[in-house]
Amino acid sequence: MNEALSLLADVFDDPINNAWALEELRGQWRDLEPEEREALTPLAKLAAQRVAAAKEAPPSEPAAPAGPEPELAAPADEASLRAALRFGVSTD
């Protein structure tokens, strides 16, 4: 039962990318007790509806690029680089 709830939670969390979890749940369905299946059926139907709705929805626009990547400052010397890597601070 916990595994089934976990799979359904994955679907509700991200219907497009976790639609596979419904197939996984279908494979485990017969292993559940009848009362567990009865309790899970409405949630499984709702999860399937969410997946179908997400597949029908227009794709979201990709995020605009933030701009050019900042240039990294070069360390003054090897000792500064080692100190920065070791201690996370500059020796300046």
Per-residue model confidence as pLDDT tens digits over 42-65: 999 999 999 999 989 777 666 666
DSSP per-residue codes, the chain: -HHHHHHHHHHHH-TTTTTHHHHHHHHHGGGS-HHHHHHHHHHHHHHHHHHHHHHHSPPPPPPPP--SPPPPPPPSSHHHHHHHHHHSS---
Mean pLDDT, residues 6-12 taken together: 93
**What mean pLDDT do residues 65-87 have?**
65
Work out the mean pLDDT of the chain and round it to a whole number.
82
The pLDDT, as a whole number, for residue 57 is 79
